[in-house]
């Protein structure tokens, strides 16, 4: 018994148990695994970040920023409206600007008429005597019914002469005021027709002067002389002469008016051709308003002239 207990005391249980190679290997491999785990976990994150930076979304953003649409808006070519090209640039202006432009044009036209009237006034007395002798028989006495009638008649005749002389300038100023709202080709067209407008005005005035006025005045005076003594007022006589001459001059602008409205697309040419007889009736009716002749000869002549001008306008549309 004593020997067995002595042998047990001699044993040292505090010393560590020696490890074998097999037991140490797993520990080392476990440490290596522990040390490799953070690196392995960090490597995918870094690689994911680099992949994310090269992702299609980022490349699309760079492409979008360099695209032509973002750098500069696309400019569309001019479109066509009613068979015409759109103006090169839109013109916008306040109403005050248009009124100022209208005022300037009126001032220029008024100044031209004033200068023309001042130049014509010294010769207006001789013009009255000449026109009276041409249209009124010698047996009819020139009469005035107010102190200022002769003076006002001279002024009216002077202004009428100024209108005839400066009619091209008046039409030019009118077209220039209208030009801001027109296309470029329409502006060129209107400027070109100013000389033609003056020729048509002279044709209308000549028709009234050489044909309409003699027929009208001779008829009225012939029938008045049979029942009463003809005593015609100077003012009313020259009001009739001036109204007919200037009125026919303006009426002869019908071809230019028709060509203009067709070129602007307001009315189509085929519409005018189809409604030819309606237009004829309207022109003859208008002739009865501008030519006060009880014999109806002046009205028929004026209506025939307007119909000829209408047909001339349709022919002119084929070449403009």
d(CA 163, CA 23): 129
> In this predicted model, what pLDDT tens digit does every residue of 270-307 receive, in sequence order?
888 888 899 888 888 888 877 666 667 777 888 888 88
Residue by residue, DSSP assigns 100-167 as HHHHHHHHHHHHHHHHHHHHHGGGHHHHHHHHHHHHS-TTSEEE-SSTTHHHHHHHHHHHHHHHHHSH
Domain ranges across the chain: 93-252
> In this predicted model, what pLDDT tens digit does every residue of 157-187 receive, in sequence order?
999 999 999 999 998 898 888 777 777 777 7
Predicted confidence band at 8 (pLDDT cuts at 50, 70, 90)? low
């Amino acid at each position: 018994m004593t020997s067995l207990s002595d042998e047990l005391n001699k044993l040292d249980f505090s010393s560590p148990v020696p490890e074998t190679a097999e037991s140490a290997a797993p520990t080392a491999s476990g440490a290596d695994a522990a040390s490799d785990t953070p690196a392995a976990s960090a490597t995918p994150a870094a690689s994911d970040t680099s992949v994310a930076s090269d992702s299609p979304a980022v490349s699309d953003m760079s492409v979008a920023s360099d695209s032509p649409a973002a750098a500069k808006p696309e400019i569309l070519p001019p479109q066509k409206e009613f068979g015409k090209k759109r103006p090169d640039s839109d013109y916008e202006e306040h109403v005050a600007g248009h009124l100022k432009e209208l005022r300037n044009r009126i001032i220029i036209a008024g100044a031209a008429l004033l200068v023309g009237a001042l130049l014509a006034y010294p010769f207006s007395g001789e013009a009255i005597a000449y026109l009276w002798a041409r249209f009124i028989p010698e047996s009819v006495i020139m009469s005035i019914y107010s102190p200022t009638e002769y003076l006002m008649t001279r002024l009216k005749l002077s202004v009428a002469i100024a209108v005839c002389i400066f009619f091209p300038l008046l039409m030019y100023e009118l077209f220039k005021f209208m030009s801001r709202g027109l296309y470029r080709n329409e502006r060129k067209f209107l400027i070109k027709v100013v000389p033609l407008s003056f020729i048509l005005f002279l044709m209308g005035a000549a028709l009234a002067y050489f044909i309409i006025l003699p027929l009208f005045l001779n008829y009225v005076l012939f029938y008045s002389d049979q029942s009463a003594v003809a005593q015609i007022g100077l003012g009313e006589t020259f009001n009739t002469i001036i109204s007919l001459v200037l009125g026919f001059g303006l009426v002869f602008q019908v071809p230019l008016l028709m060509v203009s409205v067709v070129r602007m697309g307001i009315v189509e040419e085929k519409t005018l051709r189809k409604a030819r007889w309606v237009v004829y009736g309207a022109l003859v009716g208008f002739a009865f308003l501008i030519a006060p002749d009880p014999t109806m000869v002046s009205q028929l002549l004026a209506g025939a002239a307007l119909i000829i001008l209408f047909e001339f306008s349709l022919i002119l549309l084929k070449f403009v």
